[in-house]
Chains A and B, each alone.
Chain A
Amino acid sequence: EDQVTQSPEALRLQEGESSSLNCSYTVSGLRGLFWYRQDPGKGPEFLFTLYSAGEEKEKERLKATLTKKESFLHITAPKPEDSATYLCAVQDFSGTYKYIFGTGTRLKVLA
């Protein structure tokens, strides 16, 4: 059964203090791995799609990487506005097109 585990559950950083969030996954065949940002009470906002091991994507202070077992979301010199919950999801080739989400990492960046 497909499974996604995110760590840590919560992370507090000082502004400018770089760090990484982890997403470990078990999937029968990876169709895609997705990163989303979610603010309280809002729907998830799409950040990145990764398809194969070794792939990297960047957007502003965020960089996502992918291996055969896990993905990392690296946050460089974060700002308070980066505070949010970051969700990781995988999709397999079962044909249902469903996403399996992790429980997320709650990030708080202090000024």
Chain B
Amino acid sequence: DAGVTQSPTHLIKTRGQHVTLRCSPISGHKSVSWYQQVLGQGPQFIFQYYEKEERGRGNFPDRFSARQFPNYSSELNVNALLLGDSALYLCASSLQGQSIGAEAFFGQGTRLTVV
């Protein structure tokens, strides 16, 4: 069974540029969440989508946006990149919305470096 897949695995961008990260959830999972993990810290919640609707947004600026497609895959977009956006971006899929406290399964992440 395929787990959560993210692309690309690594990315180097220049300050001010835009980036798009992609995620395919586990088959049958309709919920996708995005997290940012800075080195030495726990993941921080950015967005959650369920059935193509935004269900939650973390404390991130409007430069961060996301969407979920009819096949439940998702994109995270970040505009006007700053050096501080350098981090591991994690996508998680779950059955959220259908069962209480359903566990989230994470992809391997996209390592974004802004120079």
Q: Which residues of A contact B (CB under 8 A)?
A: 4, 31-32, 34, 36, 41-46, 49, 51, 87, 89, 91, 95-104
- How many residue pairs link A and B with beta carbons under 8 A? The number is 76
Q: How far is the CB of A60 from chain B (nearest CB, A)?
A: 18
What 1/0 mask marks residues of chain B from 54 to 80 whose CB sits below 8 Å from any chain A CB?
Answer: 011110000000000000000000000
From A49, which residue of chain B is reached at the shortest CB distance? B103
CB neighbours (8 Å) of A98 from chain B are 33, 45, 48, 56, 58
B55 contact from A45, A91, A95, Cβ within 8 A: A95
Q: Find out whether the CB atom of A43 lies under 8 angstroms from the CB atom of B101.
A: no
> In the docked arrangement, what's the CA distance between A98 and B92, Å?
11
A49 contact from B4, B48, B101, B111, Cβ within 8 A: B101
Q: Find out whether the CB atom of B100 lies under 8 angstroms from the CB atom of A43.
A: no
CB neighbours (8 Å) of B6 from chain A are 43
From A4, which residue of chain B is reached at the shortest CB distance? B42
Is B96 among interface residues, defined by CB-CB distance under 8 A? yes
